[in-house]
Amino acid sequence: MNILRLEDLSLAGKRVLIREDFNVPVKAGKVMSDARIRAAVPTIQFALKQGAAVIILSHLGRPVEGNFAAEFSLAPVASRLGELLQLTVRLETDWLDGVEIKPGEVVLCENVRFTPGENKNDAVLAGKMAALCDVFVMDAFGTAHRAQASTEGVIRLAPVACAGLLMTRELDALQKSMLQPSRPLLAIVGGSKVSTKLTVLENLLNQVDELIVGGGIANTFIAAAGFEVGKSLFEADLVPAAQRLIRQAHENGGNIPIPKDVAVAKSFSAEEVPVIRHVGEVRKDEMILDIGPMTIIEYSHAIAAAGTIVWNGPLGVFEFSNFATGTRAVAEAIARSKAFSIAGGGETLEAIDQFGVSDEISYISTGGGAFLEFIEGKTLPAVAALQDRFVS
Ligand code: 3PG
Ligand code: MG
C-alpha cells in the first residue's frame, strides 16, 4: 500500500498531531477497557523519542456537537494514557486556535466531536486542525471508515500526513489476511443478523475457500436450508438472500456449512440447561443458542486445516456460560492453529478476553466497523486520503 509511514519521517522539534481512536468504554469516570489506549502507545512513544511535541485528537462516543457533556469527556483517557506513558498528559479544552506545547510534552485535546463541523467533515475545521501541526499522523484505524474533519479532512490539508505505527500494523495484518492470504483462507462470521453483514458475507464468498457462519446469522442459513428454527433469532426476510449465498458458494466450488447439531433451550435465559439436537430436530417452542458437539469437531478440523483465519462474531450466546461452549471451542481451535489469524469487532474481542486466548491470535484488530468495512472490500476514506497524499 503506497502510504507515507511515520518511521519514514524525522520529527525532532516538530509539532506532531496524532489522531487516535480512544473511543473506549468509560463508566463512572473510569476507563473499563484500555486496549485501544495501549495499542496507541508505541506511536506516541516513537514521536516523543524523536523529540516531537505531541498533540493528540480523539473522539469518545457520539455527543451532540457544540455542547460539552461530561460523560463524553476524554479526562479518564488522559489519566490512563498518562499512567501508560509515565508522564503527565495535559487535557486541553480550548485547543482549536492553537496549543502551547514544548518538545517532549503530550497534550490530549478534548473530544473532537464536541467541535461543530467534525462529523460532516467541514473543510474550515479540518484546516484549523491542520494548522496545529507540522506533521499529521493518522493512527485511528478504528475510525478510518469515517470521513470526518479529524480523519479524512485533516489528512488532505496538513503540511505532511502519514500513517502511525498502529494504523500501519492494522493495514499490514488485513492485507496479509485478505489480499495475500496463505490458503486455505477461512472466514468465520458470527453475530446476530445477516442484514448487518450481508455485504461482508457476499464479498467474503469471492475471496475465501470456506465460510463458516455463526449465531443468529447461522439460524437464518439453517432456515434457508429448509430446517425448523422454532423461536430462534433469525431473519425470515433474508432467507432468500441466504439461499442465494449458499448457491453462490456452491458455484464457486465452496461451501457454507450449516451446523449439524445445535444447543437449544425453551427460553432466552442464562439459567437454561442446553439440550443438544440434530439440526433437523429443533422443535417449534425451542430456540437455538449455540452449536453442538459434532459441529464443534467439524469446525475445529476446518480451523486446523486453514492457512489464514479471519474471525468476526460469536457462534452462540457466549454471554450465558451454558451456551458459550461453541464460541469457546472455536476461539481455542483458532488459538491452537498454526494459521495466520486475525480477529476484530467488539463482541469478538470480549470473547477472546473471556477465553484467555489473546496471546495466541496472530493479530487482534482495534477496529469494529472499520475492520468489517475492510473485509467487505470497501476503501476506507482515511486510507484513501493517505494514498492520495502519497502520490501528490
Ligand atoms: C468505533 O468504536 O466503532 C469507532 O471508534 C467509530 O465510532 P463511531 O461508530 O461512533 O463513528
Ligand atoms: Mg461503531
Condensed to tens digits (0 to 9), the pLDDT of residues 261-314 reads: 999 999 999 999 999 999 999 999 999 999 999 999 999 999 999 999 999 999
- Which has the closest alpha carbon to 109: 145, 142, 141, 154? 154
Choice from 20, 21, 23 to test ligand 1 binding pocket (greatest atom count within 8 A of CB) = 23
Binding site membership of 345 for ligand 1 (Cβ less than 6 Å): no
Could you tell me the three cell numbers for 351? 470473547
Give every CB contact of residue 32 below 8 A, 6+ residues apart in sequence.
24, 25, 26
Q: Is residue 117 left, alpha or beta, with left meaning phi > 0 and alpha meaning psi from -120 to 50?
A: left
CA of 171 relative to ligand 1 center, distance in Å: 17
- Is the model's pLDDT at 252 over the cut of 90? no
Cis amide leading into 314 (omega within 30): no
- Is the model's pLDDT at 1 over the cut of 90? no
CA of 23 relative to ligand 1 center, distance in Å: 7
Q: Which ligand is nearest to the CA of 150?
A: 1
What count of other Cβ atoms lies within 10 Å of the Cβ of residue 388?
15
- Is the model's pLDDT at 87 over the cut of 70? yes
Mean pLDDT of 32-36: 93
13 by DSSP, 3-state: which? coil
Binding site membership of 143 for ligand 1 (Cβ less than 6 Å): yes
14 is catalytic: no
Q: CB burial class (10 A; 0-12, 13-18, 19+) of residue 362?
A: middle
Cα–Cα distance, 192 to 106 (Å, whole number): 41
65 by DSSP, 3-state: which? coil
CA of 250 relative to ligand 2 center, distance in Å: 33
Cα–Cα distance, 372 to 202 (Å, whole number): 12
CB distance 269 to 287 below 8 Å: no
Cα–Cα distance, 323 to 319 (Å, whole number): 8
Looking at the chain, list the stretches that DSSP marks H as alpha helix, in order from N- to C-terminal side: 35-49, 75-85, 123-131, 154-157, 165-174, 198-207, 215-224, 239-251, 293-305, 325-336, 346-354, 369-375, 381-391
Position in ligand 1 atom list of the atom nearest CA 148: 11
Give every CB contact of residue 158 below 8 A, 6+ residues apart in sequence.
17, 129, 130, 133, 135, 136
> What confidence score (pLDDT) does residue 392 get?
60
CA of 279 relative to ligand 1 center, distance in Å: 37
The one catalytic residue in 15, 36, 113, 146 is: 36
128 is catalytic: no
pLDDT, tens digit, 9 for 90 and up, residues 97-143: 999 999 999 999 999 999 999 999 999 999 999 999 999 999 999 99
Average pLDDT of the chain is 96
Give every CB contact of residue 389 below 8 A, 6+ residues apart in sequence.
3, 4, 155, 156, 161
Residue 208 — pLDDT band, cuts 50, 70, 90? Answer: very high
Least confident of 178-182, 215-219, 250-254, 316-320: 250-254
> What confidence score (pLDDT) does residue 346 get?
86
346 is catalytic: yes
Residue 164 — pLDDT band, cuts 50, 70, 90? Answer: very high
Closest protein CA for atom 9 of ligand 1: 369
Cα–Cα distance, 283 to 270 (Å, whole number): 20
The one catalytic residue in 82, 307, 369, 377 is: 369
Cα–Cα distance, 365 to 144 (Å, whole number): 13
- Is the model's pLDDT at 77 over the cut of 90? yes
- Which has the closest alpha carbon to 287: 182, 179, 359, 215? 215
Share of the chain above pLDDT 90, in %: 97
CA angle 218, 371, 222 (to 5 degrees): 5
